[in-house]
Structure 1
Amino acid sequence: MNVRWGDGAGPARGRAGSGAARLFALFVALAAVLWIAPAEAQSYRFTSVSVEGNQRIQPGTILSYAGIARGETVSAAELNQAYRRILDSGLFETVEIEPQGARLVIRVAEYPTINRISFEGNRRIDDEQLAGIVDSQPRRIFNPSQAERDVATIIEAYESDGRIAARVTPRVIERSENRVDLVFEIFEGDVVEIERIGFVGNEAFSDRRLRRVLETKQAGILRAFIRSDTLIADRIELDRQLLRDFYQSRGYVDFRITGVNAELTQERDAYFVTFNVQEGQQFAFGRLSVSSDLPGVDVPAFQAAIRSRPGQTYSPARVDNDIARLERLAIERGLDFVRVEPEVTRNDRALTLDIDYKLVRGPRIFVERIDIEGNTATLDRVIRRQFRVAEGDPFNPREIRESAERIRALGLFASADVEAREGSSEEQVIVDVDVEEQPTGSLTFGGTYSTSGGLGAIVRFQERNFLGRGQRLALEISTGVDNRVYRLGFTEPAFLGRDLTFDFDLAYRETDNLLASYDTAIGRIRPSFEFPIAANARLALRYTAEVSELYGLSSDAGQLVQAEAARGQEWNSSLGYTISYDTRRTGLDPNAGVLLEFGQDFGGVGGANTFIKSTARAVAQTRVWNEEVTLRATVEGGVLNYSSGSSRVTDRFFMGPGVMRGFSLDGIGPRERNTAADVNDALGGNMFAVARFEAEFPLGLPEEYGISGGVYYDIGSLWGLDQTNADVIYEDFSLRQTVGLSLFWDTPIGPLRFNFSEPVAKRPHDETQAFDLTISTQF
């Protein structure tokens, strides 16, 4: 503060002496001031206050900051506080308060106004993104402190992108009329990647296996595309939780992370991250029981509802599943406000955990209402139908947590927070849902390539939240050398507001078969409904109307194909169903899963033919050798049986690389072959059966490359025709066998799979295919 004292405002000035007398007088005066000041504080009384130096800011605004009224007696300390209030407003570069007798003068120098803000040197983060994170804005007052805070914000944004060497320098360019241009000069620096992720203390699982659990990845050959190889504090916290979940789901209840160390290399261009862990012992379930003192509780019935079994590896997910099952059973039996509290007894000698599920009476709390915020495009009902409770129902914290997971699983929101707070009374709660929407549509222009179809173009539009109703809409146009596909798909996941999925599929496909003597055109309309029938089972019901035609026959077409093409366009109309049982939905066993499917289509509901088409599939997967190796087995088959009419090549089964590797799409099964007439037509078959066995394992390469290997063995057959002649071969059941090697590569465009096949059992005229490239599917 710069305070100047006017005449009469302070103590009288003494006359200056000379030499020692002047020094002595000064010493006496200083001692008098130090002695008297605490007892006699200076006070002022002003009859007028004037403001000088202000240009944009009104004097009244400045006086309101000062808080000094005319005629009011103020002390020197209060003058200092007034000075601080004016300066702390952030509007002024300098402030002076000068008492002049009964008049107080306040002189200010205003900060300039920001004319414009610009960023220089930035390439990785564009101007729009940076402008959105800084608080300094054009046409507002420039404040150096705020500019420094903006510098810290920009540096933090670059650090989260892995550029810890980023530097930002604010520059001020003066303009006329007390305006300035604020320029942030940015040196981005290079990305500081995570060179290595290691673990200390792990014995049950290798570093390679644990690295697959983490969200953070090591830098690899795809570092230009993968952004998860930089050190971000929030991601490390997520990794800690992922590690805990991984170990606890496998029975390691004492698992702890004692520390995470991140060290820069000497060149400061990479990090070494080390997780220090304590695994502890692996526990299994011991005795499982149910107990309750509540009236009307049938304990044996609740005991029978427990799905965990003694001897199974302990998993919190299994316990949660049992608790949810017991609480649902309590509601079904009219027992409201019943809570299940697991009491765990630890047996360190046997490495087991005995669990007693206690049924107790919980507090009588009701759901007052559910408030939803943040959904600007998505309708409330899309979110609300994820709740199994409604306003007025008993409050169940577990059900609210499960509802939150269902909302996140929709894939429509970048974040979804669900919390409960006290309502209008202690017996009521309000459930707050706060979501942040994200883009849900995509428009794709691209190309395709297949070893059998050559080059092609594709245009695909997908919307996962059509009109904000949670519906899915897909439109696809795909053209290739030998095929054209046009498809429109629509899905309503909650038809009539229930767990009932309605799907409508409209497709038309034309093929110009380069390897066959005919072309095909197939159009299909298929509406369907799907709904749950058990915890892991679902039932799909469908109607299919299909029109097919064979045309463009070449001169070397066989007699059967000519006869089928002569039938012209044919309509087939059928009703069908598919039952599926999928343990992957529960996630109770992280290392194994089973998928069972069985479906039938009954033709003859109109149309030209009466038939039954049955298909079945069973898939099982497990991980062995400390989860380093994945074993997978698939058994698949189908039967097409006509009671009136007969099948055509457009109806029958074919076995290509997607069903049995090592053979082309028309590689095996019945064929009409006549060497003299140059006839060689693949006819497909009315029956097929195949078994596929494969193993996937690491190759010893750095896992950041995303490359692993595999081996497989396929055995199967395709056989059976409604009509035949003397030129038909391989119409009988005859097994083919293939062995092969696979190379899996996780790339930014998706997981690719390269198959190198060698048929070890085949027929002389089968068409083999030694190599195929596909998008890898995860079971």
Structure 2
Amino acid sequence: MKILPRAKMPHFKTFTTQKFAARAQSARVRAAFRLRQTAAAVCLAAAAMLWANPPSLLAQQTAAARQEAPVVDKISYKFEGPKNVSESAVNVHVRLRSGMKFDQKALDQSIRSLYNTGLYEFVEAHRALSNDGKKIDISFTIVPKYRVASVVFKGNKEYSANRLKGQVSTYAGSTLSEIDVKRDADKLREFYQKKGYSLAKVGYSIERNDENGVGAVIFEIDEGQDVKIMQIRFTGDKNAEETYGFWGRISKMLFGEDDPSKIDSIKLASEMKTDTWIPIISHLTDNGRFKEDELQEDIEKLRKFYRNHGYLDVVIDESKIKFEFPDSDEPGDMDIIIDVQPNKQYFVGDIKIKGNKIFTTDHLMYLTNDRYGFRKGDVFSPARVDEVIENLRTFYGEFGYIDTIVRALRRPNVETGNIDLTIDIIESGKYYLESINIQGNTKTKSDVILRELALAPGDVFDLYRMKISEQRLKETRFFDEVTLSPESTNIPKRRDLRIVLKEGRTGNLIFGAGFSTIESLVATVEVTQSNFDYENYDSLFQGAGQKFRLRGTIGLESNQVILSFEEPWLFNRQLGYGIDLYRTDTGYYSDYYSEVRLGALNYLRKRIYELVEARLAYKIELVDIYDVKNNAPYVIKDESGSRSISQVSLTFLRDDRDSYMMPTRGTRFELVQDLAGGPFLGQTNLYRIEARAGWWIPTFDFGKQVFSIVGRAGTVMGYGGKEVPFFEKCFLGGGYNMRGFKYRKVGPIDPATEEPLGGNSFGFVAVEYSIELFNPVRFAVFYDWGFVNENDWDWDPSNYNSDFGIGLRILLMGAPMRIDLGFPLKTGEYNDDGMQFNFSFGTVF
């Protein structure tokens, strides 16, 4: 297209519709004629070129051009700088050889390959053509990089060189880059700061050897003083200015009155990961050291905490945080002073609901005020508002209105000073579940996933049941990530359920160690697979949701081997079947004998109502009492040797605790009945019934205080003219129940040897109140009460024993540690042994 200069552009004219159409048609005709002319000209030109240069001639010209390329004669290498690279190491990357036709592309690739090794600072190729143009010489100029000969750490005392080498990328044999060395020095400084050495300084130096082309990297470390936080104080907010020491904090938590709307220094400290130094405990948990990154995160947590208590305009200026070192004799002891300006506290004003048609305003207000506990006059909390909005959206979703939008419109009320809230609802239609799409289950079978769902195709698409299904899949612990969401379809009022999973590690090989004042030192090796499949060897026996465990322990006082398998869905029904094969060798029960148990346990279990589970089991066991001392009580001597037990058990269990290791809420009820001998044969005839119950009740939010009460009662009796053997009797005492008494020392005791003999009836109650000092340490006070009577069905508590004490509960490396000091209150004639120290700990590594 030819574009005319502006001066020569034609003037626009106004046309009628007919004239414009005629001109357009004429223009199209002329354009088509010019296109045909152009095409004809191109064809003629192509024909002329083919006539003048036929294909055979063109091929000959191309071949001739190739024959004219010079031949590589000599390739030489010139090294400048450090001499730490041989010619052969360079020659490997050069794609030209003497006698080859020279190819510029191959030369470029050779230079690129040399640079890609990262071993060279500079690479250049010089070309020299012979006078006749038939030969060419190539000369490479190469400047190698220095290599790292060694990496040395100086000044490090707290951490070894091997530990520090794991923090840097520079290593012996790597290319030397001062930029990388500087980055490594920064990494080391960050490492020390995260470990609490905020005053640490890290420099570096490089000692180069020009002759060998190597350099020694030296990191010079000044660890500085280990900064321990002695106090965290708050200024600006009068409610939080009062500070409490260790025991003052405990006293405040135990006996102080808690107002959820009020803020004090204990509540603020509990929101922070940064904590004060506590001797011994801080060495175990690494708390109490100053870490700058943690403090920055804590400041944001404090702002959020204040806002959720109605202080929407809170100001915590990081530039005003002070660090003081009050004790010149202890330069590492530091106080942190945080300035907080809470400003005005806001409350909830008028609450209105609009846009609702499906459900009445009165019903939605009832849900908001009563069920969700959000009322006018409450402290305004953004987190509580979000929670109410999500609850209302879930409420609509329970009935299939899954696309309903619920929004909170906040408006400050100038007259009252409160925040008025309008809940705006945009209702959707009702949806049903069409199909279920599962993604990401690379090893877990689809039926294992589907059986955990509370929704099925054809059901009303219930968001609440969708969340339950999501929680069930998470509780299987087969997956690292579980996401359930509605998915659009082409069918009106129908949605698919999309399940996106990321498979997790379900198998473990564990090497562990544990210690307690009862069992002494124990080493453990354990192989577990919680998503086992005995049929699927292609996937390494994974994917069917079965449970497998092989465990072996060896210790100073006990040994154990146990093999367990469970199929939780027998015959595709919610019926579990399991088998345990075991051998235990125990020596800590008594100084007068040792005991070995060899047995097999088969069981069926089924959830019969909501959280209530029933379990029917059969056990065949051989008990061997050996290594009996000559001065042992006669009841022990009489049982020396082996005895078989053939026993059927029926157990009912209900457990809704939030944690098995350290529960803070929930209940656990269990009723156990055992019948051995009689129609089931064996050498032991007994009937046992035992009830166990526990309640864990959270009391106050600050300190996450928990009150718990645990009780047990049971009796065992022989029948058919046979007595209950002593090793099947009831015992109390020790770190697992009566903590103020020695192991098994509550109940009937042989007067001559003071050996516990056990009884046929017992009752036990433990009351405990615990407070989280900081994560993961809890302080506990407890009271234990219990009795063991000689006869069956004897519930006379007159010979009870009792104790009280204090303790610590620490979740360390995924395993619980319990430290208790128990003081007996009411004792018997043979068990007044004074204060008892009980310690138990198990971990994996």
Which bin holds the TM-score, normalised by the shorter protein? 0.5 to 0.7
Q: What percent of counterpart residues are identical?
A: 13
Q: Secondary structure at the match of 2:758?
A: coil
List aligned pairs for 1:7-46, cutoff 5 A.
none
CA distance in 2, matches of 1:665, 1:597: 25
**1:771: how far off?**
0.8
Q: Distance in 1 between matches of 2:342 and 2:568?
A: 42
Given the alignment, which residue of 542, 556, 559 partners 1:480? Answer: 556
Deviations 1:562-619, CA, capped at 9 Å, x for gaps: 777799322212232311233679x9xx9x7342323333536835547352312122
> What is the CA–CA distance in structure 2 between the aligned matches of 1:619 and 1:130, rounded to whole Å?
50
- Root-mean-square deviation (Å): 6.4
Tell me if structure 1 keeps the 8 A contact 2:401–2:430.
no
Task: Give the Cα separation in 2 of the matches to 1:418 and 1:176.
Answer: 61
Q: Deviations over 1:528-571 (max 9, x none)?
A: 67787888x46363525152536356666767667777993222
Q: Is 1:134 equivalent to 2:200 in the alignment?
A: no
1:721 aligns with 2:791: yes
The 1:630–1:316 alpha-carbon spacing in structure 2 relative to 1, beyond 3 Å, is: same
Tell me which residue corresponds to 1:692: 766
Checking the alignment, whether the CA contact within 8 Å between 1:161 and 1:191 is kept in structure 2 is no
Q: What are structure 2's unaligned runs of at least 5 residues?
A: 1-76, 81-89, 95-102, 110-114, 125-138, 241-261, 532-539
Structure 1 portions without partners, runs of 5+: 1-51, 66-85, 96-106, 724-729
Q: Are 2:203 and 1:168 equivalent residues in the alignment?
A: yes
Deviation, 1:165, is 2.8
Change (3 A) 1:369 1:568: closer
Which of residues 806, 809, 820 in structure 2 aligns to 1:742?
806
Aligned residues of 2:509 and 2:527 also touching (Cα < 8 A): yes
Question: Would the aligned equivalents of 1:473 and 1:491 in 2 still touch at CA under 8 Å?
Answer: no
CA distance in 1, matches of 2:191, 2:589: 55
Question: Which residue identity is paired with 1:616?
Answer: R
Distance change >3 Å, CA 683–CA 631, structure 1 → 2: same
Partner residue in 2 for 1:666: 744
- How far residue 512 of structure 1 moved from its aligned partner, in angstroms, is 4.3
Equivalent positions of 1:180-195 (< 5 A) are: 180-181=214-215, 183-190=217-224, 192-195=226-229
Q: Is the 8 A contact 2:732 2:743 kept in 1?
A: yes
Q: 1:743 to 1:283 in 2, by over 3 A?
A: farther
Is the contact made by 2:374 and 2:388 (CA closer than 8 Å) also made in structure 1? Answer: no
The 5-angstrom pairing of residues 491-502 of structure 1 reads none
* Correspondences of 1:160-309 after superposition (within 5 Å): 160-163=194-197, 164-171=199-206, 173-175=208-210, 179-181=213-215, 183-190=217-224, 192-196=226-230, 197-200=232-235, 201=237, 203=240, 204=262, 206-208=264-266, 210-222=268-280, 226-240=285-299, 243=302, 254=312, 256=314, 258-260=316-318, 261=321, 263=323, 272-277=335-340, 293=356, 307-309=371-373
How far apart in 1 are the matches of 2:290 and 2:484?
A: 30
Would you say the 8 A contact 1:121–1:188 is kept in 2?
Answer: no
One-letter amino acid matched to 1:598? E
Query: Equivalent residue for 1:755?
Result: 821
Does the CA-based 8 Å contact 1:258-1:276 persist in structure 2? yes
Report how far residue 169 of structure 1 moved.
1.9
CA drift of 1:477 comes to: 1.4
Moved more, 266-275 or 280-289: 280-289
The CA distance in 1 between the partners of 2:226 and 2:817, in whole Å, is 26
Q: Secondary structure at the match of 2:656?
A: strand
- Confirm or deny: 8 A CA contact 1:577 1:599 kept in the other structure: yes
TM-score (norm. length: structure 2): 0.58
2:728 is the alignment partner of 1:651: yes
- The correspondence for 1:614, drawn from 687, 690, 710, is 690
| Higher strand proportion | 1
Of 428, 445, 469, 1:361 maps to 428
Following superposition, the deviation at residue 410 of structure 1 comes to 4.9
C-alpha separation in 1, matches of 2:786 and 2:404: 54
User: CA 1:358/1:501 → structure 2, altered by over 3 Å: closer, same or farther?
Assistant: farther
Counterpart residue number, 2:617? 543
**1:216 is matched by which residue type in structure 2?**
T
Aligned: 1:774 with 2:839: yes
Shift of residue 120, structure 1, vs aligned partner: 0.8
1:601 aligned to which of 673, 676, 680? 673
Which has the greater radius of gyration? Answer: 2
Deviations 1:90-133 (A, max 9, x none): 975799xxxxxxxxxxx998653243363211653756874775
**Cα separation, partners in 2 of 1:412 and 1:368, compared to 1, 3 Å:** closer
Q: 2:617 corresponds to which letter in structure 1?
A: Y
Q: Distance in 2 between matches of 1:183 and 1:734?
A: 77
Deviations 1:138-158 (A, max 9, x none): 566x55545544544454444
- Identify if the C-alpha distance between structure 1 residues 611 and 461 changes in structure 2 by more than 3 Å, giving closer, same or farther: same
Q: In structure 1, what is the Cα distance between the partners aligned to 2:391 and 2:497?
A: 24
The verdict on how the C-alpha distance between 1:610 and 1:129 changes in structure 2, with shifts beyond 3 A counting, is same
Aligned mates of 2:574, 2:347 — CA distance in 1? 35
Which residue among 89, 92, 115 is the counterpart of 2:147? 115
Looking at structure 2, the residues matched to 496 and 280 of structure 1 have their Cα atoms a distance apart, in angstroms, of 64
Shift of 1:636: 0.6
Which digits, 9 at most, give the CA deviation of each residue in 1:363-386, with x for residues without a partner? 99999977769x9xx879899899
Report the secondary structure of 1:661's partner residue: coil
**CA 640–290 in structure 1, closer or farther in 2 if over 3 Å, else same:** farther
Deviations 1:183-230 (A, max 9, x none): 243325236434243333353455455434432334453565544545
User: How far apart, in 2, do the equivalents of 1:371 and 1:695 lie?
Assistant: 46
Which one-letter code corresponds to 1:596 in the other structure? Answer: R
Find the residue that maps to 1:568 and give its secondary structure: strand
How many angstroms apart in 2 are the aligned matches of 1:355 and 1:721? 69
Which amino acid is the alignment partner of residue 134 of structure 1? S
CA change 1:681–1:264 in 2 (3 A) is closer
Q: How far did 1:623 drift? A: 4.3
Structure 2 CA distance for partners of 1:277 and 1:361, relative to 1, 3 Å = farther
Equivalent residues of 2:400, 2:462 under 8 A apart: no
Q: Distance in 2 between matches of 1:290 and 1:524?
A: 65
Higher helix share: 2
Give the 3 Å change call, closer, same or farther, for CA 525–321 of structure 1 in structure 2.
farther
Counterpart position of 1:33: none
User: Does the C-alpha gap of structure 1 residues 562 and 127 become closer, same or farther in structure 2, counting only changes over 3 Å?
Assistant: closer
The TM-score, its normalising length taken from structure 1, stands at: 0.63
CA distance in 2, matches of 1:144, 1:184: 12
Residues 670 and 137 of structure 1: CA distance in aligned 2, closer, same or farther (over 3 Å): closer
Listed as ranges, the matches of 1:703-714 within 5 Å are 711-714=781-784
Q: Distance in 2 between matches of 1:643 and 1:361?
A: 67
- Shift in Å at residue 252 of structure 1? 5.6
Q: Residues 370-389 of structure 1: matches in 2 within 5 Å?
A: none
- Answer yes or no: is 1:458 the counterpart of 2:534: no
Distance 1:513-1:331 versus aligned 2 partners, 3 A rule: same
2-side partners of 1:228 and 1:395: how far apart?
A: 45
Q: Judging changes above 3 Å, is the alpha-carbon distance between structure 1 residues 559 and 92 closer, same or farther for their aligned structure 2 residues? A: closer
